[in-house]
């Protein structure tokens, strides 16, 4: 059932598929981005369609913007810069990839970035190595160079004084994948930093009335709050009365149910429903399938694991995909 | 590689079993073909159950042996295939497509019946009707499960052909038929053992791969038969017959018996034989001929005549003893009473529809066998193999457990033989289950076949086991379709399958299986289009999953876009419909196909983006553009049209287009009327509050030739004053910091002012 479909260039460091799985962007150590396309939607045959230099330093992560905004990728580079590239026809020229935005880099590095679609605008959350979180907003859907900083905050649930001199190794952001006209924008964010308060995953929701971002849930038991978070994943919800979020720490992968109705403090109820063993390895990536019923994870152990829940609500490892030459 | 399964089973894994936590983790190989060590993996879910894994090699600086090798590979893993490895992809897709119509029809009938009966299908008239629908559905699905055709019948029948080869039998059909027998076909409830017997006759060859079976034994014997001269001397001949008889393949046994040496001098025609039977009954040889014709022709032979035959054989002379015994056994076999409404074509036996009739006939038949068994004539039969072989056949018919056990090769065959000869009056699943368990103890299967698990689940009336076996062995297609049979046929199953599980987000098992099947369909570009049929039958979670599926379609391909829109319209998914069209619109716009872009954005009713496009069109205002450019611009204004009224600025753009168009028509030699129209358009534009201030000066500058029209002033006094006022307002606005200077020659303002002043003078004079 396994079939090699694309040969990646020497020095490829990361890959990202677009929304439909018909385009792949692959970043490499020399800052070049390769784009592979399938010409026929019915086949898994891909060929390289573009190759261009994004930046001087190595690309460490590529993220596609939602298709409602065209073919746009955000590239995080090893020097901490964040760039947006767009494939577009301008002024009767041929279709080509163009740099549309290079976010100013002051002193901290960009660790993770994710796009989220709200009613009228595109939002971009970026987590930085100094523990800051910035939310940018795109005002004109056709002008990808004009981003407005909507908010800037730290990943803390209590409004205490700001933590200085923070150093973060990694961060992970996941938007609520629900698409619909009524849903509030929300995302979950966790850090791997030297500041315990910042680490635990928190769910942030945009308060439309007051135009601000509020932490509405913390996904960590009191004893585990300082555990560095390596990655988070928010499951698509196709009809559950609660949200399902996976949080990977150094100890385990925890699955959380998050209620939808806030209490009087504006907090959502949370329940840790499963602890999945990481097999003593670091988890680097987690992703839910389109139904939100299967969680795939991978990490330093070099295998992909698939997890599912049985009728008793018990989560278990269902399958392992093991690389073999 | 140790620990890896060579043939990955299907991974459309639904948690139907309660014991999944104890199940071993399935290992799948991920063959990437890279020689160098792997640095790391990353993956992404594609549509459905397809996972794409990027395998990155260690950077070259760290490893010397990776010279010239690719930096990595992307491997696509389809986690769910057809669910049955014996069905290839194309055939599976055919099956998936053909099962859509019966499924959709049944669902629509369910809806209309539920509506008519106010949600309960248990009320008698509706129940009966529903039952009819389910039976029809089951038959249709069953018929599409095998596209096998019956082997062509040869004109001259091969006398030595004892086994009919079924073309590519599939376990899926065998399993479906089992469910049909036990859950749906209520009319056959009284003769389930006979149906199982038919079932085993049809599918015995399926077990041959993993187990010793009677079918494989007969196939072997048939090959051997071609070279055998005196068949009755061959012990395999007798073994084959006893095995076939044990599982009720009567026609095979009778056919084999006919190969016995005692039939070799057949010369008379059947008519003579019949005649002779009545007239010269004491001629043994002739009697045998006659009986043969009667039995092979399946003509009715009264019990009296069978009795007579047995009696006759018992007293016949030694010369023909063998012949008579063989024929007597053949006749008894072909007269076996069967508790069933009718026989299949070419099958032997006598049918009885009611139990009392059957019991009576059975007793009588057994008495006849016993009589023959006890006949002293056996002692005179001098051919040992014939004597022992026939005795063995009689022991089978008398239900001797040891002989039955020796004649069968697996518990299922033994189970069937018990129905036929040991407990012919077995009824009820419980007693069948007990009997099955006993047979399993006698003949335990070292490698249990997947169909056995299903049978045991059904006999044990354990819906969970049936579901788990179906899911594990036959995959998501089976689960999505067979659930209808289970819920219709068993109250327990219905409760179990319709119960909502809070631990799974409130979804029922029935729905869960459909969701899983829909995901399998979604994994392939050729089958995703039928997934909506199954998803929309799921009330709880189907629609959202359908939306997710539609959102993931590559809508830049127009065929896919149109198909997606069609699905959205059919199921009234307006939000996702707009979204799809928006994605298409933006894609076209950004790829330079502005017209298509605007069209799709309009279809999506995306006023927000259309507004932005309108704003971009403003850039043309006041610019001297080429004719081509203006045409393009004009076309877009046309497309944006008057439909999107809320699009701010569109009113201005439309007015501007009219003005621009009339201005283009104005030349030196144009009649004054045309020029006057242009001037009117200008004044109207300048009056209109929707005209942005930044365009005032460019508009006036463009209209210089109108303001300085040679023939006569085109703008009257009050109009000129209005324009002058606007100019004054503009001068005030220039003092503000956010004022944007129009891209015009530096003398533009003074030229306009001069023209307006001149015009005012001329207009006053004229008035």
Over the stretch B757-766, which tens digit does the pLDDT of each residue have? 988 888 888 8
The mean per-residue pLDDT over the stretch B353-372 comes to: 89
B73·A28 Cβ contact <8 A: no
Write the class of the CATH domain A107-324: mainly beta
**CA dist., res. B74 & res. B52, Å (int):** 7
Whether B30 maps to a domain, the answer reads no
Tokens read off for B117: 């009966």
Residue B629 domain boundaries: 606-766
Q: Worst-scoring range by mean pLDDT, A58-72, B648-662, B704-718? A: B648-662
Strand extents, DSSP E, B238-358: 337-339, 350-352
User: Does residue B349 register a pLDDT over 50?
Assistant: yes
Q: Worst-scoring range by mean pLDDT, B166-175, B522-531, B644-653? A: B644-653
User: Does residue B657 register a pLDDT over 60?
Assistant: yes
Predicted pLDDT at B291: 44
A42·B525 Cβ contact <8 A: yes
- Calculate the alpha carbon distances from A112 to A33, A80, A229, B153, B394 in Å: 18, 10, 13, 71, 82
Predicted pLDDT at B83: 45
β-pair partners for A115: A124
Bigger pLDDT: B672 or B358? B358
Cα-Cα-Cα-Cα dihedral sign, residues B482, B487, B488, B490: positive
**CA dist., res. B761 & res. B87, Å (int):** 93
Indicate the residue among B427, B453, B486 that finishes a domain.
B427
User: Does residue B279 register a pLDDT over 80?
Assistant: no
Domain count, chain B: 2
Highest mean pLDDT among A69-73, B443-447, B501-505: A69-73
| Partner-chain residue, chosen from A42, A140, A310, that has the shortest CB–CB distance to B612 | A140
The mean per-residue pLDDT over the stretch B498-512 comes to: 88
A28·B71 Cβ contact <8 A: yes
B71·A11 Cβ contact <8 A: yes
Whether B506 maps to a domain, the answer reads no
**DSSP-assigned letter for residue A35:** E
B41·A29 Cβ contact <8 A: no
Predicted pLDDT at B321: 58
Span between the terminal Cα atoms of chain B, in Å: 103
β-pair partners for A157: none
Interface test with A, best of B6, B23, B30 (most A CBs within 10 A): B30
Count of Cβ atoms closer than 10 Å to residue B638 Cβ = 13
Tokens read off for A309: 């829940």
The mean per-residue pLDDT over the stretch A143-153 comes to: 92
A4·B74 Cβ contact <8 A: yes
- Angle B627-640/B650-665 helices, nearest 10 degrees? 140
Model confidence band, residue B270 (pLDDT cutoffs 50, 70, 90):
very low
For chains A and B, count residue pairs whose Cβ atoms are closer than 8 Å.
273
Find, among A48, A50, A79, A76, the residue nearest to A62 by Cα.
A76
φ, ψ of residue B164 in degrees (nearest 5) = -90, 125
A263-301 pLDDT tens trace: 888 899 999 999 998 878 899 999 999 999 999 999 999
For A:78-137, CB contacts with B below 8 A are 86-89, 92, 95, 120
Predicted pLDDT at A209: 85
Q: Which residues of B touch A312 (CB under 8 A)?
A: 18, 503
* Region of A239 on the Ramachandran plot (φ > 0 left; ψ -120 to 50 alpha; else beta): left
Whether B399 maps to a domain, the answer reads yes
User: Does residue B1 register a pLDDT over 70?
Assistant: no
**CA dist., res. A63 & res. A61, Å (int):** 7
The mean per-residue pLDDT over the stretch A191-220 comes to: 91
Residue written as token pair 């605008």 = A121
Q: Are B80 and B49 in contact (CB under 8 A)?
A: yes
- Can you give the pTM of this predicted structure? 0.84
User: Does residue B178 register a pLDDT over 80?
Assistant: yes
The mean per-residue pLDDT over the stretch A189-202 comes to: 93
**CA dist., res. B202 & res. B165, Å (int):** 10
The mean per-residue pLDDT over the stretch A313-321 comes to: 90
Q: What is the 3-state secondary structure (H, E, C) of B116-151?
A: HCCCCCCCHHHHHHHHHHHHHHHHHHHHHHCCCCCC
For chain A, what is the mean pLDDT? 90
Q: Which residues of A touch B30 (CB under 8 A)?
A: 2, 304, 321-324
For B:546-565, CB contacts with A below 8 A are 547-549, 551-555, 557, 560
A12·B71 Cβ contact <8 A: yes
A11·B587 Cβ contact <8 A: no
A24 touches chain B (CB under 8 A): yes
Whether B139 maps to a domain, the answer reads no
B289-336 pLDDT tens trace: 344 444 443 334 455 555 555 555 544 444 345 667 888 888 889 889
B584-620 pLDDT tens trace: 999 999 998 888 999 999 999 888 888 888 777 777 7
Q: Which residues of A touch B557 (CB under 8 A)?
A: 41
User: Does residue B12 register a pLDDT over 60?
Assistant: no
φ, ψ of residue B301 in degrees (nearest 5) = -125, 120
Whether B359 maps to a domain, the answer reads yes
A64-114 pLDDT tens trace: 999 999 999 999 999 999 999 999 998 777 899 999 999 977 778 999 999
Q: What is the 3-state secondary structure (H, E, C) of B363-428?
A: HHHHHHHHHHHHCHHHHHCCCHHHHHHHHHHHHHHCCCHHHHHHHCCCHHHHHHHHHHHHCCCCCC
Indicate the residue among B393, B412, B427 that finishes a domain.
B427
Residue A37: closest CA among chain B residues belongs to which residue?
A: B554
Predicted pLDDT at B703: 86
Q: Are B100 and B528 in contact (CB under 8 A)?
A: no
B60·A10 Cβ contact <8 A: yes
B139-164 pLDDT tens trace: 999 888 875 544 443 334 455 555 55
In this prediction, what percent of chain B has a pLDDT beyond 90?
21
Model confidence band, residue B643 (pLDDT cutoffs 50, 70, 90):
low
Model confidence band, residue B51 (pLDDT cutoffs 50, 70, 90):
very high
Predicted pLDDT at B276: 32
- Calculate the alpha carbon distances from A306 to A232, A320, B27, B79 in Å: 15, 6, 10, 10
Find, among B154, B174, B177, B176, the residue nearest to B164 by Cα.
B154
Model confidence band, residue A49 (pLDDT cutoffs 50, 70, 90):
very high
**CA dist., res. A82 & res. A74, Å (int):** 7
B71·A69 Cβ contact <8 A: no
Residue B560: closest CA among chain A residues belongs to which residue?
A: A41
Predicted pLDDT at A125: 95
Model confidence band, residue B3 (pLDDT cutoffs 50, 70, 90):
very low
The mean per-residue pLDDT over the stretch A227-255 comes to: 94
- Calculate the alpha carbon distances from B10 to B85, B204, B471 in Å: 8, 24, 9
B104-141 pLDDT tens trace: 999 999 888 888 876 566 677 778 888 889 999 999 99
Helix (H, G, I), strand (E, B) or coil at B567: helix
* Region of B713 on the Ramachandran plot (φ > 0 left; ψ -120 to 50 alpha; else beta): beta
Indicate the residue among B427, B459, B482 that finishes a domain.
B427
What is Dmax (Cα atoms) for chain A? Answer: 60
Predicted pLDDT at B353: 85
User: Does residue B412 register a pLDDT over 70?
Assistant: yes
A324·B34 Cβ contact <8 A: no
Q: Which residues of A touch B542 (CB under 8 A)?
A: 238
For B:472-501, CB contacts with A below 8 A are 501
Residue written as token pair 């509706």 = B126
Predicted pLDDT at B318: 41
Bigger pLDDT: B565 or B256? B565
User: Does residue A255 register a pLDDT over 90?
Assistant: yes
User: Does residue A196 register a pLDDT over 70?
Assistant: yes
Q: Worst-scoring range by mean pLDDT, B38-47, B77-86, B185-194, B404-413? A: B77-86
Predicted pLDDT at B299: 39
Count of Cβ atoms closer than 10 Å to residue B68 Cβ = 6
For A:274-293, CB contacts with B below 8 A are 284-285, 287-291, 293
User: Does residue B638 register a pLDDT over 90?
Assistant: no
**CA dist., res. A72 & res. A63, Å (int):** 9
A158 touches chain B (CB under 8 A): no
For chain B, what is the mean pLDDT? 79
Bigger pLDDT: B717 or B66? B717
Residue B601: closest CA among chain A residues belongs to which residue?
A: A68
């Amino acid at each position: 059932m396994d079939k090699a479909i694309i040969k990646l260039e020497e020095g490829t460091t990361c890959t990202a598929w677009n929304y439909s799985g018909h385009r792949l962007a692959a970043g490499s150590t020399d800052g070049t981005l390769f784009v592979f396309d399938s010409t026929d939607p019915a086949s898994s045959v891909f060929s390289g369609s573009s190759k261009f230099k994004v930046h001087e330093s190595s690309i460490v992560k590529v993220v596609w913007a939602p298709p409602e905004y065209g073919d746009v990728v955000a590239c995080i580079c090893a020097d901490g810069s964040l760039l947006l590239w767009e494939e577009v026809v301008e002024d009767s020229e041929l279709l080509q990839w163009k740099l549309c935005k290079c976010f100013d880099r002051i002193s901290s590095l960009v660790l993770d970035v994710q796009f989220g679609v709200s009613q009228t605008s595109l939002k971009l959350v970026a987590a930085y190595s100094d523990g800051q979180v910035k939310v940018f907003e795109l005002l004109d859907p056709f002008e990808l160079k004009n981003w407005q900083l909507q908010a800037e905050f730290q990943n803390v649930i209590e409004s205490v004084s700001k933590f200085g001199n923070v150093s973060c190794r990694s961060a992970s952001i996941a938007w609520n994948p629900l698409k619909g006209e009524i849903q509030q924008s929300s995302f979950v964010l966790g850090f791997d930093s030297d500041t315990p308060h910042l680490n635990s995953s928190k769910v942030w929701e945009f308060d439309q009335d007051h135009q601000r971002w509020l932490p509405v849930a913390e996904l960590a038991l009191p004893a585990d709050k300082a555990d560095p978070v390596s990655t988070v994943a928010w499951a698509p919800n196709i009809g559950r009365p609660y949200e399902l979020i996976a949080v990977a720490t150094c100890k385990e992968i925890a699955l959380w149910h998050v209620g939808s109705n806030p209490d009087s403090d504006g907090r959502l109820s949370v329940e840790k429903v499963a602890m999945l063993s990481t097999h003593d390895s670091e988890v680097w990536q987690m992703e839910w399938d389109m139904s939100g019923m299967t969680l795939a994870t991978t990490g330093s152990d070099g295998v992909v694991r698939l997890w599912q829940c049985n009728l008793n609500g018990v989560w278990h490892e269902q399958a392992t995909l093991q690389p073999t030459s | 590689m140790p620990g890896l399964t060579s043939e990955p089973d299907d991974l459309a894994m639904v948690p139907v079993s309660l014991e999944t936590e104890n199940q071993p983790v399935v290992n799948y190989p991920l063959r990437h073909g890279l020689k160098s060590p792997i640095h790391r993996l990353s993956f992404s879910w594609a549509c459905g159950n397809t996972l794409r894994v990027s395998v990155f090699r260690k950077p070259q600086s760290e490893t010397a042996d990776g010279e010239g090798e690719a930096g990595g590979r992307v491997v696509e893993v389809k986690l769910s295939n057809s669910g049955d490895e014996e069905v290839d992809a194309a055939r599976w897709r055919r099956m998936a497509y053909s099962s859509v119509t019966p499924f959709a029809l049944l669902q629509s009938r369910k809806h209309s019946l539920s509506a008519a009966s106010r949600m309960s299908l248990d009320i008698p008239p509706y129940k009966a009707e529903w039952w009819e629908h389910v039976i029809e559905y089951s038959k249709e699905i069953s018929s599409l499960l095998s596209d096998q055709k019956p082997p062509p019948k040869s004109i001259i029948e091969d006398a030595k052909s004892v086994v009919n080869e079924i073309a590519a039998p599939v376990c899926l059909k065998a399993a479906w038929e089992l469910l049909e027998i036990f859950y749906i076909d209520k009319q056959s409830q009284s003769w389930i053992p006979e149906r199982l017997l038919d079932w085993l006759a049809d599918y015995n060859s399926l077990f041959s791969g993993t187990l010793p079976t009677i079918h494989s034994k007969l196939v072997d014997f048939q090959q051997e038969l071609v070279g055998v001269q005196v068949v009755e001397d061959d012990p395999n001949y007798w073994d084959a017959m006893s095995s076939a008889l044990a599982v009720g393949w009567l026609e095979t046994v009778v056919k084999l018996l006919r190969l016995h040496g005692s039939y070799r001098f057949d010369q008379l025609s059947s008519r003579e034989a019949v005649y002779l039977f009545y007239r010269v009954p004491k001629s043994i040889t002739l009697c045998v001929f006659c009986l043969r014709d009667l039995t092979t022709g399946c003509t009715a032979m009264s019990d009296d005549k069978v009795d007579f035959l047995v009696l006759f054989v018992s007293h016949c002379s030694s010369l023909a003893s063998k012949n008579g015994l063989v024929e007597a056994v053949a006749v008894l076999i072909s007269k076996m009473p069967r508790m069933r409404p009718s026989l299949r074509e070419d099958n032997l036996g006598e049918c009885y529809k009611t139990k009392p009739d059957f019991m009576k006939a059975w007793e009588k038949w057994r008495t006849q066998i016993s009589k023959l068994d006890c006949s002293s004539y056996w002692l005179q039969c001098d051919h040992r193999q014939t004597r022992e072989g026939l005795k063995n056949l009689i022991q089978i018919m008398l239900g001797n457990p040891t002989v039955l056990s020796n004649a069968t090769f697996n518990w299922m065959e033994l189970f069937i033989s018990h129905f036929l000869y040991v407990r012919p009056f077995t009824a009820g699943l419980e007693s069948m289950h007990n009997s099955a368990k006993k047979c399993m103890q006698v003949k335990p299967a070292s490698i249990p076949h997947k169909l056995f698990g299903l049978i045991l689940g059904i006999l044990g009336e354990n819906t969970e086991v049936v579901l788990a076996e179906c899911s594990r062995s036959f995959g998501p297609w089976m689960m999505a379709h067979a659930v209808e049979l289970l819920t219709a046929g068993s109250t327990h199953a219905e409760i179990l399958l319709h119960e909502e599980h809070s631990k799974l987000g409130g979804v029922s098992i029935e729905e869960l299986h459909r969701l899983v099947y829909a995901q399998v369909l979604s994994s392939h570009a050729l089958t995703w289009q039928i997934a909506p049929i199954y998803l929309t039958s799921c009330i709880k979670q189907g629609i959202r999953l359908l939306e997710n599926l539609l959102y993931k379609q590559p809508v830049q391909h127009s065929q896919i876009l149109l198909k997606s829109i069609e699905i959205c319209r059919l199921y009234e998914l307006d939000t996702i419909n707009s979204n799809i069209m928006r994605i298409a619109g933006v894609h076209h716009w950004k790829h330079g196909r502005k017209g298509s872009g605007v069209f799709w954005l309009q279809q999506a009713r995306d006023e927000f983006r259309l507004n932005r496009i309108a704003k971009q069109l403003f850039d043309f205002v006041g610019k001297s553009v080429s004719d081509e450019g203006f045409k393009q611009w004009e076309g877009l204004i046309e497309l944006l049209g008057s439909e999107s009224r809320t699009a701010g600025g569109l009113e201005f753009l439309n007015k501007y287009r009219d003005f621009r168009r009339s201005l283009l028509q104005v030349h030196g030699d144009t009649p004054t009327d045309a020029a006057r129209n242009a001037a009117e358009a200008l004044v109207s534009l300048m009056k209109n509050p929707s005209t942005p201030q930044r365009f005032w000066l460019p508009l006036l500058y463009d209209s210089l030739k109108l303001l300085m029209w040679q023939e006569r002033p085109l703008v009257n006094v009050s109009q000129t004053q209005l324009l002058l006022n606007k100019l004054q307002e503009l001068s005030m606005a220039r003092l503000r910091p956010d004022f944007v200077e129009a891209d015009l020659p530096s003398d533009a303002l003074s030229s306009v002012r001069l023209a307006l002043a001149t015009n005012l003078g001329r207009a006053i004079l004229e008035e």
